[in-house]
Amino acid sequence: MGWYADNIFPHLMEWVMGKEEFQRQRREALAGASGAVLEIGLGTGLNLPHYPARVTWLTAVDPRPQLPALIEARSVGLSFPVEILRLDAERLPFEDARFDCVVSTWTLCTIPNVLAALAEVRRVLKPGGSFLFLEHGRSEDPKIARWQDWLTPVQKLVACGCHLNRRMDELIRAAGFSIDLLERYQMEGVPKPGGAMYRGRAVPTTTAMRTPIKAASGL
């Protein structure tokens, strides 16, 4: 897995996730980002060109920043400084309420302890700050969801830990967020098990009330 993860998967990811439809969705999802932003799971930096001018600072974490030369090239000429840290989102070294906005695109599927990462996202967000997410996850269609359950063990191998069947909205709420915008749709040009999308915005709830997670959250 190490050699594949270092040498093949980043190129595969760049090729698939750099396609026009993915770029369009990134642009739309990031349009509301502003101020000091944290991105979890930077990948190959495909989001970098899509941040709007209202962003003043970007910190990005990823345990394996992928294709560093490409990330560096994408960081040049941006209107805000970019700080990249080789870290897991489950343990963020930032003080509470440091960021105005946290962004996650196609990353909550892969983080091993996704609830711990979401709790960290909540902790480092300012009260009233935005968590912007663009994620694939468990389908609303039971037949597709069944396929997602069957295919997830294989997907985890070929896509370096990616789960097809996580219920993103439930996980986000369970970590102490309220979701004020949520779009569910099937992404065009992506096979159904991998294209059940969750796009939206969540804000930290004022009290850390946890919504219980149902059994099939895909953890």
Ligand X SMILES: C[S@@+](CC[C@H](N)C(=O)[O-])C[C@H]1O[C@@H](n2cnc3c(N)ncnc32)[C@H](O)[C@@H]1O
Nearer to ligand X, 15 or 127 (CB): 15
Task: Find the binding residues for ligand X in span 62-81 (CB under 6 A).
Answer: 62-64, 66
Nearer to ligand X, 10 or 204 (CB): 10
State in angstroms the smallest separation of the CB of 162 from ligand X.
Answer: 6
Nearer to ligand X, 38 or 215 (CB): 38
The binder of ligand X chosen from 25, 59, 75, 107 (CB under 6 A): 107
| Using rule CB under 6 A, residue 149 touches ligand X | no
* # binding residues, ligand X (CB under 6 A): 22
The binder of ligand X chosen from 59, 75, 110, 165 (CB under 6 A): 110
| Using rule CB under 6 A, residue 46 touches ligand X | yes
Strands 196-204 and 125-136: antiparallel
Nearer to ligand X, 81 or 161 (CB): 161
